[in-house]
Structure 1
Amino acid sequence: MSLSAIFFLDLKGKVLISRNYRGDVDMSKIDKFMPLVMDREEEGNLSPILSHGGTTFMYIKFNNLYLVTTSKKNANVSLVFTILHKICHVFQEYFKELEEESIRDNFVLIYELLDELIDFGYPQTTDSKILQEYITQEGQKLEVAPKPPPAITNAVSWRSEGIKYRKNEVFLDVIESVNLLVNANGNVLRSEIVGAVKMRVFLSGMPELRLGLNDKVLFESTGRKSKSVELEDVKFHQCVRLSRFENDRTISFIPPDGEFELMSYRLNTHVKPLIWIESVIEHHSHSRVEYMIKAKSQFKRRSTANNVDILISVPSDADSPKFKTTVGYAKYIPEQNQCIWHIKSFPGGKEFLMRAHFNLPSVEAEEAEGRPPISVRFEIPYFTYLISLFSSFYREAKNF
């Protein structure tokens, strides 16, 4: 993969900052980018890869910015998008928020980072923790030139040597999102689990950690019978030894210092709705509409769902909202044609009701819009479908 140049544009296509890495593409070519995007939007054929006059534009949109790369070579597109997202992550680590204002306020620092992240169009050091050791947000004195840490040239480039802690600690969190689609008859049409394993590591030296999985592939190869899971779309942090995982499905790694995401995964599995929603909609003489929404939690009583938001679509011309809830509160958001029922705490095995009343000045809108789906968002701490995912976790070192 080789990039010719990278550009940061505002929403109008104005270049905020750019870096020319190879010099083989005229920097004025970026003027053709925004017209190409607008033409594709009008045609309804928008793509993250655009070509014009032998130059290929590859871009992502992040907040109010366009990150655009140009290339004249047959670049590896997947790697290009990976480095673009990695740049966004590094800049967020430095500036907290990556947007037009933070770009304008940090020109010098951004140029330093771009020179370290990419060299002659090829990705280099992309670990924000290592970069922060020698590229700081403080001014550098001329007589004291900053030296890159040895980790950059080490085999373990994501961790510095000589780290010491008075107390060795490791924290592991499994964070999962359940995407579920249920039809009006209560049948699950699609369900998947998207998860990530995040760690906080405070260990001295160069520790070797291992994490065992109750993995279906491992159990089938060894003839063992136990509760297992079949992971898909697994993505590991660069510290994981992939060859070891391929051989015996053990995640072996020397971890970065501090907080990082060890792996992410996806599961295509049948999942029952954790919060069941039933709705009754009544129209009265084409002048008003009433909603009765019943929400029932279908998980164990010892668990509690927090910050539950139930989003109900309403006709675009609805007005004069009136709500009555047995718990929480409801509010109307006219710009989104929705009302939201918010429940701060929803214990397991409970059932709550919400009634909503709207006036309908127009008959046509009521008949044309139909019944859009109801969406539910919530969080359940310490609740995962993969609670039995991990079979072992240990460190190959003494005094742990």
Structure 2
Amino acid sequence: MSVSAVFLLDLKGKVLICRNYKGDVDMAEIDHFLPLLMQEEEDGLLSPVLLHGSVHFLWIKHSNLYLVATTNKNSNASLVYAFLYKLVEVFTEYFKELEEESIQDNFVVVYELLDELMDFGFPQTTDSKILQEYITQEGTKLEVAKSKVPTTVTNAVSWRSEGIKYKKNEVFIDVIESINVLVRWLQPLGVNWAGVNANGSVMSSDIVGSIKLKTMLSGMPELRLGLNDRVLFALTGRDKGKTVTMEDVKFHQCVRLSRFESDRTISFIPPDGESELMSYRINTHVKPLIWIESVIEKFSHSRVEIMVKAKGQFKKQSVANNVEVRIPVPSDADSPKFKASTGHAKYVPEKNLVVWTIKSFPGGKEFLMRAHFGLPSVENDELEGRPPITVNFEIPYFTVSGIQVRYMKIIEKSGYQALPWVRYITQSGGKQLNIFI
């Protein structure tokens, strides 16, 4: 990856702040960015990479800003975009909200950050916690910090400071899995519930997981995490019981990758506080944890009744919290009336949705909601080929994949005792979509 310069622009293309790292691209080239972008929008072929002569513009939009990197080399685009999104993350950590006003109010800090985040077009220190040790928003601290660079910048362990002390040593582990399910329904419209022969099939499904830590440990501890990883069990000849096969595994920089590749041990010195240790994907067939059926019944072209049935398809000991079923309705619907066997339904006219909220949904239970609307128009074609019904939820103490934290070993030279705590959470991911045809 090699970046010539980074620009922060407002929505009119005005440069708010920039940093020239290499000097091999004329800084005036940025004047071509917005015209190129507007032309792409008019043509309906909006591209994440724009080209003017030999100069490439790689850009993202955040709030009322454009963040643009320029280069005239054959740079790795994915790394450039990773850096731009990291910029957003760091600036947000500093200013709470990244927008035009926060940039204008913090020019000095932004320049300091741009200098530390990248050097001669290559990323350097990008951890906001480490940056905050020596780049602050008080000018006096900036002068003091320049005279002494924190050891975290020069250390082999750049993500953790030395001398951390806690009265009570603990580490909290959250295993969070998000489920993405697409269900396709072939179902007739305009019939009574009793006459429906529901035919729903899962078109695609996967599980996206992450393991997050909140570390409150003194000193420089080494942690070793054990999971019921199928590859590990096969290597050690213990392929018994429930195991999982993880794909697309990504680790925090603290994890010793060579150790994981050789014997699947997750060994690391953790960052202090909150961090995401790893993420993974499990490509497996997953049935919807909350099964949705829907029927529309029209009456004399002037009113419509939508019936939605939700059934919990997870174990009875578990409870889904904050379940939200979002049902699209025609844009000209009015006079809403609702009747739900549990929870609360409301009409959101600006989004053409009925939102059915159930605070507590036990496994194995089944609930019904009826929504009645008047339709001002005589005919309404929006009932045909409806947008999908989406479902959001969260189930604590439960994972669909069956992943388990088998052990967490904490090793520190002082020999203190520490308590690891583990929590499992399953939630809806990029939405459970129920498409009715």
C-alpha distance after superposition, 1:112-144 (max 9, x if no partner): 111110112111111111111111122216874
Aligned counterpart in structure 2 of residue 205 of structure 1, from 214, 219, 223: 219
Aligned to 1:169: 170
Confirm or deny: 8 A CA contact 2:301 2:379 kept in the other structure: no
Distance in 2 (alpha carbons) for counterparts of 1:160 and 1:256? 8
Comparing 380-389 and 4-13, the one that deviates more: 380-389
1:321 partner SS:
strand
CA distance in 2, matches of 1:87, 1:61: 12
Output the CA distance in 1 between the equivalents of 2:238 and 2:69. Answer: 49
Task: Quote the offset at 1:56 in angstroms.
Answer: 0.5
Is the CA contact (8 Å cut-off) linking 1:177 and 1:193 kept in structure 2?
A: yes
> Which string of whole-angstrom CA distances, capped at 9 and with x for unpartnered residues, describes residues 22-69 of structure 1?
122122211211222222223232221111111001112223322110
**1:209-253 alpha-carbon deviations (Å, 9 max, x no partner):** 111222222233344322211111111100011111111111111
The yes-or-no answer on 1:277 pairing with 2:278 is no
Q: Structure 2 CA distance, aligned partners of 1:144 and 1:118? A: 22
- Greater CA deviation, 159-168 or 263-272? 159-168
Equivalent pair of 1:213/1:249 in contact (CA under 8 Å): no
Distance across 2 between alignment mates of 1:333 and 1:37: 34
1:152 aligned residue: 153
Once the two structures are superposed, residues 171-225 of structure 1 have per-residue CA deviations (whole angstroms, 9 ceiling, x without a partner) of 1111121111112122211111111111011112211111122222223334432
Which runs of structure 2 are paired with 1:59-78 in the superposition (5 Å)?
A: 59-78=59-78
- In structure 1, the residue matched to 2:39 is 39
Question: Which residue of 2 is the match for residue 225 of structure 1?
Answer: 239
Q: 1:296 to 1:141 in 2, by over 3 A?
A: closer
1:211 to 1:52, Cα distance in 2 relative to 1, 3 A? same
Name the CA shift for 1:300/1:145 in 2 (closer, same or farther; >3 Å): closer
Give ranges in structure 2 of 5+ residues lacking alignment.
186-198, 418-437
Runs of 4+ in 1 over 6 A off after TM superposition: none
CA contact (8 A) 1:161 1:205 kept: yes
Contact 2:330–2:383 (Cα < 8 Å) also in 1: no
Task: Specify every segment of 5 or more residues in structure 1 that has no aligned partner in the other structure, as ranges.
Answer: none
Where 2:35 maps in the other structure, the secondary structure is: helix
Distance apart, 1:155 and its partner CA? 0.9
For the 8 Å contact 1:316–1:365, the answer to whether it is kept is no
Distance 1:261 1:11 in 2: 33
Query: What SS is found at the alignment partner of 1:187?
Result: strand
1:399 and 2:416 aligned? yes
Return the TM-score normalized by structure 2.
0.87
Partners in 2 of 1:396 and 1:349 — Cα distance? 43
204, 221, 229: which one aligns with 1:190: 204
Alignment of 1:124-139 (within 5 A): 124-139=124-139
Map of 1:48 onto structure 2: 48
Q: TM-score, normalised by structure 1?
A: 0.94
The alignment's C-alpha RMSD in Å is 1.9
Query: Structure 1 residue aligned with 2:279, among 260, 264, 271?
Result: 264
Whether 1:310 aligns to 2:311 is no
State the match for 1:117 in structure 2. Answer: 117
SS at match of 2:380: helix
Change (3 A) 1:69 1:160: same
Give the 3-state SS of the residue equivalent to 1:378 in structure 2. strand
Q: Distance in 2 between matches of 1:152 and 1:144?
A: 16
Q: Secondary structure at the match of 2:270?
A: coil
The equivalent of 1:288 in structure 2 is 303
Residue aligned with 1:33, SS = helix
Q: Report if aligned partners of 2:230, 2:239 keep a CA contact under 8 Å in 1.
A: no
Q: Matches of residues 97-116 of structure 1 in structure 2 within 5 Å?
A: 97-116=97-116
Distance 1:11 1:369, change over 3 A: farther
**Residue of structure 2 equivalent to 1:2:** 2
Moved more, 98-107 or 117-126: 98-107
Return the structure number with greater relative CO, CA threshold 8 A, min gap 6.
Answer: 2
In the TM superposition, residue 95 of structure 1 has moved relative to its aligned partner by 1.6
User: What CA distance in whole angstroms lies between the structure 1 residues aligned with 2:381 and 2:143?
Assistant: 73
From 242, 253, 256, the counterpart of 2:268: 253
CA shift at 1:367, angstroms?
Answer: 5.8
Q: Write out per-residue CA displacement over residues 273-328 of structure 1, whole angstroms, 9 at most, x where no aligned residue.
A: 11111111101122111101111212233322222111111122222222222222
Contact 1:309 1:376 in 2 (8 A): yes
Percentage identity across aligned positions? Answer: 70
**Amino acid in the other structure paired with 2:303:** R
Contact 2:320 2:393 in 1 (8 A): yes
